[in-house]
Amino acid sequence: MKIQNPIIWADMPDPDIIREGDTYYMVSTTMFVMPGAPILKSKDLCHWELVSYVFNTIEDNDIYQLKNGRNAYGKGQWATSLKFYNGLYYACFVCHDMQKTYIYYTDNIEKSGWNRYVINDVFHDMSFLFDNGRSYLVYGNGEIKIVELKDDLSGVKAGGVNQRLFSTPAENIMLRCEGCRAYKIYGYYYLLFIEWPYDGNGRRRVVCYRAKELLGEYERKILLDDDMEYHNQGIAQGALIDTPDGEWYSVLFQDHGAVGRIPYLLPVSWEDGWPNMGINGRVPEKLEIPLEEYEARPLITSDTFSHNENELDLRWEWNHNPEEDCWSFTENPGYLRLRTKSLAKNLLAARNILTQKTSGPKCTFSVELNTEGMMAGDYAGLIALQGDYGAIGVRADNNNLKRIIVSKKDSDTRQNKEEYKLLTDNSVFLKIDFDFENSRDIAEFYYSQDSVNWVKLGSDLHMTYTLDLFIGYRIGLFYYSQETAGGYADFRNFIYESLV
């Protein structure tokens, strides 16, 4: 089977992968969107489909409810470690907003909402390591440490191993080693990290430490330092995985502008006990692997919203915890109805923004909005969600006038900018086009009365990947009020198109 990199042109950072027989499972980072920690399934390491989420929500507090000015933007679930051990699947991650480490477990990886243990400590960017009947987390940034877990993984083992393994270089280093993935292969302990030096190529790279003894002396080697000629954005941080036939591969990600952090597949060979990533030290644009193509469901989907039950497709995720009684498919059959029961000062404070990922090189999303139930101060529509956001929607005012509005917050001014057109009917079609090709990173906004003839409104949004949200741009359906809660907005026929 022929592979074209990247294998997924969408935000799928911090991958970790396990194999069960001929089936691969991958976990990724979703930060503050709910449900989170998606589990993807594949049989060819290239075509992946979403099958479950580790958690439905992390905590039910002001941070995750967008209350009292608090939020989990740029935080939440990071860099999850995924393993199968003693008949159970385990996923571990840190929430820096909560200053806690979460260990989730299940006997069915394709079912969402796992059980969990909570540790009141931070084991940053950890990796599970199971060895000789004992369980560990290897973690840290620069100072790499190891801690032993109880036999049932419910917490730190009293009197167990708990020490520093080694220090990684600090001189001329912007980001010291982190993002650990730990393995025991061919009699060696291998610890893989991402590192970002100032010197050399000055980009992210893959670094490996290995030792014969877990607590012994570790050797260091740079395994990969390549950007595929994309703006010196190094391809790094990810997992090693083998096939049933003993072939080895790695999945790593690259910061790729506004679309987010996207994964690549690399062949791995072994020489003198070290894994060699890529081909002659480079990430191949194309490669051939001895696996049959897997027919995976797309990772982004259209949705008519014509459903008999209030159950979302797995590919939808909420911005923070949803208000479950404020959305419905059954209240107005054929539509997604969003309601408000609280006020929000702006889009980033709005509850129940329903999101999906965007995709490169280009994609477009459209939806029909019915505004009949909107009240004064309400705003509903489509958003290109990031710290520098752009939205097109309908806003109602106190004079019962409704305007189609493009609202933006961008890096040029850091201020809200609005342009509008009066709405003459209760129904309108809205569309956002995304162009990530060749780092163009532009979003354009359109409206229509018939979904055929589209009118561009407002100026383009120059999309920027900012660390305040720390995600690739998402498309979102939103509805919120600044004045009086209790109204509703109806959406139907959400359409996604990938423009390759």
Instruction: Report, as residue numbers or ranges, the catalytic residues.
Output: 14, 178
Nearest partner of 267 among 277, 275, 257, 259, judged by Cα:
277
> Cβ(239)–Cβ(247) under 8 Å?
no
Task: Tell me how far apart the alpha carbons of residues 105 and 54 are, in angstroms, rounded to a whole number.
Answer: 8
SS3 state of residue 257: helix
Residue 296 is given by DSSP the state: P
- Decide if 76 contacts 32 (C-beta within 8 A): yes
Token look-up 């489509």 returns: 382
Rounded-to-integer distance, Cα 476 and Cα 355, Å: 4
Element (H, E) at 62: helix 62-65
**CA dihedral for 143, 30, 499, 264, sign (positive or negative):** positive
**Tokens 């009699």 correspond to what residue?**
187
**Spatial separation of the C-alpha atoms in residues 144 and 165, rounded to whole Å:** 6
d(CA 444, CA 286): 32
Distance CA 269, CA 277 (A): 7
Q: How many CB atoms lie within 10 A of CB 342?
A: 15
Rounded to whole angstroms, the Cα distance separating 426 from 370 reads 6
Rounded to whole angstroms, the Cα distance separating 443 from 499 reads 14
Q: What is the total residue count of the chain?
A: 500
3-state secondary structure of 484: coil
In 204-260, DSSP assigns E strands to 205-211, 219-224, 235-242, 248-255
d(CA 100, CA 116): 12
User: How many angstroms separate the CA atoms of 355 and 336, rounded?
Assistant: 13
Rg (CA), the chain: 23
**Which pair of structure tokens corresponds to residue 117?**
């243990």
